[in-house]
Structure 1
Amino acid sequence: MAEEEKEVLTSQIVKAHDDFSWLYLNQRYSDITIIVHGRKFYAHKAILAARCDFFKFVFYDHVQAIKESPEAIGTDISVWAFQELLRFIYTGAIITTPNVTLILELLEISVNCSFTDLENFLTNKLKSALNLENAYDILNVANSRDLDELRDACHTFMDENAPEIIASPLFNNLPQKSAIGVLQRDTFCAPEIAIFDCVAKWCKVNKDVDNLVIQCVRLSLLTVDEIVSTVRPSELVEDETLWAAIAEIIGIKPKTSFYRIKKSAVLLTSKRNLNTYAYHPIDKSSSITVRLGAPSQVNYIKMRLLDEDLRFYSYYIEVSLDQRNWKRIINYSYPCRSWQDLYFKEEMIQYIRIVGTYNSASQDFHLVSFEAYYKSDIPKLVGDIICPDKNFAILNKKALVIEGNNPNVLLKQHFEIPGFTYHTIDVDQIVVHFAQPYMISRIQLLLWEGGLFRYFIETSVDKTNWRIAVDRTKANCSSWQLLQFDERPVVFIKIVGTYSTVTNDKVKEFRCALLKCFGNNDDN
């Protein structure tokens, strides 16, 4: 009987999908017309608002204007991109196109509209489409929009094709930030003289502000002959710097540049699931162990925990040079999820052991991806916890609003994106779950313009024990709130409104438009 009921439910879901798809570009029952470069698109406000936070805000905050004029005009988007945006809203799919430029346009629109489902869909599509011609354009968009997952995919692809990447004239199209991000990686492995030749060509057509791109060339990895015959005649590097590099090459001074190592690693222990993730049962003896391609200086690990749902994990990480003597570098008993950015004091290692100690959804620990690097600049650390100098309360850092209405809006990266996250006074609250613990002492909170509010903020590392951070329950507050409190590890932030002058259908709402969180970096 249960199977029959499940079959009926599935068929109804399919039918509902087909019914909504039938409404795509259908003038019948439409209640708004959107004009893009002269072409009319017929749509339905309820469907647009249900699928996309941007439209929800537009229809919620501008109801009277829309009633008076059921037509809206768009000029900053192409006809194709808007048509595919609507197609995804109504059908959950887009028309396949080999034109990466069009896909990138649609991706930028999805970011502007805080349309996370479409953003993730297009990100995966672009990752699978990476090649030697389009990787540069994709990387530029990933950097300009702070799309970490897409940027990492571009970097990995470029690592795997480093000689071809620097030999292509398309490299000159990279802006300074993108060029630095590629060249400074220890895993971008190509002959150093070839990297210098690439940089020299780039400098002829781009302005290298503060010589940051030329500094990515590891001069002490060149030969003396290469410095004298190629680098010095270019006049891109000062003689004093060249003499210092030569001193390192001939052994007068110790080397300050690490060798580039082609990324390779072997999974020694753990089970695998169709190459989608490695895993081990959570017990006292199992683990996932990775062997690096060669002994390496490492101070940064980036890994992704299985994040198909809201599950979270706890774990610790140990490193070794010989598999006999192990040193624990990370010990996270906190509820962690999705991407993990882990920094620690540099160690010469070849083996890394990841041990899961908890999974909120099952008895296995799942690891989707894993990378280890040496980074010349690392953030301030308190123990094994990052004290960030940049805002990490953003979707791209896998922060998640787990309680509250219009959840994605609070964690947007661009102030110009409209909307707000809210909760009903005396009924619920807003709770944010960060992907990993951070040491924080400062919060910037933008309250919804046009209202007066009172509120308090609490923090927690386990969502059970809460600690007060800010109490603004006795004074009316508005606009930006610049809040400071004693530094502490934080995984969860709870924002609770206690008073509001904003009413919706006779219900008092506490509204906030933007949340930013930082650590204390005054001594950096």
Structure 2
Amino acid sequence: MCDHHHLRSPAPVGIVDHVSSLSENFAELVETEDYADITFIVDGARFRSHKVILAARSEFFRALLYGGMKESQPGTTEIELQDTPSVAFSALLKYIYTGRMNLVEIQEENLLDILSLSHRFGFVELESSISDYLKAILNIRNVCHIYDLANIYSLTSLCNVCKDYMDRHAQEVLTCDSFLSLSQTSMRDLIARDSFCAPEIEIFRAVSNWAEHNKGQDPTPILEVVRLQLMGMHELLHVVRDTGLVSSDAILDAIRIQTESRDMDLKYRGYQVLEENIATTRLGASVIRGEMKTALLDGDTQNYDLDRGFTRHPIDDNSGHGIVIKLGKPYIINTVKLLLWDKDMRSYSYYIEVSMDDKDYERVIDHTGYLCRSWQKLHFPARVVRYVKVVGTHNTVNRVFHLVSFECFFTTRLFHLDRGLVVPTENVATDKNSALVIEGVSRTRNALINGNTHNYDWDSGYTCHQLGSGAICIQLAQPYVLSTMRLLLWDCDDRSYNFYIEVSTDQQKWVLVVDRRQESCKSWQTFAFDPLPVTFIRIVGTHNTANEVFHCVHFESPADTSVGSLINSVATVSVTSGPPNSPRPAQAQQGPAYPLITVDRGPSLSRSSSSSTSSRSESHQSVATATRVHFPQYYGPPPPPPSAQQQQQPLLPQPPPPQGLPSLHLGHYAGHMLQQQDVPEADRMDIH
């Protein structure tokens, strides 16, 4: 008896697992044929089996043996299976009884037969396991056979792996003998791919050989996807025409397309490398135009400054030549990543064009009307390219365009474009995505967009501006088409705010997308509007029930909807214990007030009076009915303005005021004014 089952990890105490013994006992039934009640005749060989075991393991055999077919009639003891290899059936029969098969010990031709039988008899798990094994052993000799079989049985995953393999070894596949055995459908699907990259004349010769080898099949559907317009005149007239496979009209049409069409309109083939930057010197890429060429493709995105680490070109005297990168060979790309020089607040405008011959260029990215900064991740419909040109058209500081890093690749990740701009599905207003808060006041520049929605209190964790003066403004790294936003208003007490939000692409023309000037808003706010190109977002507070400063803890766009409809703007809030600005009731001074609030929709407004923020969470629970919540509210009138002596005293840091107003570390809460001269210079962040 085999002892390999002793290597299994022991089952937990209380669990009996003797599956190995069961498998071995069933294997003995195959060998001894004890109690067999049906015989299969396969390719002249006889296999005695047990109906009930076969029916339990396969829907095919259940229907065959017990489904009312003639093979299931009483007295039937033998069944002949047509078009079934005996070696493959024998291996499959053992698998049916034992659930085991050693694929390594089986010859490839038999393995393909077993794959065929597993598909025919409905053994899905075995079919999947064999497919995975075949993916691991692909080579030039077997890939065509495996690809053809995968096509026949619609094994999509295996089929795609085979096509990717043949794409990488196209010229070798074309000369392999097994290429001639491909079915017409498999052949057509293969060479129709842009990524099956080989000289077109070699593809035509391979199709011609296939037609000679398969005289009973019509090569016309295959010839339809051969790209005659990519062949030279001599090849068309002296190779293609001589075979007689292509009509003279088709050859003339190809010549007309060559002479009348733009080069970039020709349907080129290119190499496709998934999720890998192909603009590297290792893969033969080089910078052929631009100043300080060596820096662009060195992969260093950290060590650059005013004097080194970038490639550049003059904006005014460049005549559109820009910075040109030549790839090692034609590649299919749909994504470009750039790092614009970003050691200060400058922004750039630019466009990107691609070409196959460095003469006819086609524009794929046009950001000439936008202000962009730092990392750019750009998508466009897949194109076959050999040359990529980046041309700067504007720099907000000087007349030179600086490019620190360039990458291009093909991504399989889904992306959506609107008006040539990316429509993001994840928040792009983050410092990790190179967004920047360019106006507003906070202890740290990007507190608003660092993703921290938990750690904020009276003194830190928010960005603010004085009502009636300035705003909070965010610059995205590049233009996006946005239609949703979400923000968190400072909510450590029961104050409410009024505000509006505008967006722009140039900081000159602003479009109002959110107007809450007539609505009292608290905590989380979610907004939707018609999709618009956006580079700048300006949040302007117009009212605060507690003081003269607008505070925002977090901003994101597009809005994160993963928590469902629970996070929305609060529609109405009514406080039954009295209006926020009414005098505090005498009994309330004895202890904390517990106002009764009703929230039509939106997050829970529950807050602790403690300044600790460890218990805050975005996963709010909806408040469907009246709920008792403790708010450390401010009921009295604003405190009087500070005296001149008080104004001269340092205001940072200071404890939370007893009335419940937040400690404005960027100004003094007592007078509701935001005086930045009172802020230590190290703590200021006011970018004009």
Scaled by the length of structure 2, the TM-score of the pair is: 0.38
Question: Which structure features the higher share of strand residues?
Answer: 1
TM-score, normalised to structure 1's length? Answer: 0.49
Please say which structure displays the higher CA radius of gyration.
2
Identify the structure with bigger relative contact order (alpha carbons < 8 Å, sequence gap 6+): 1
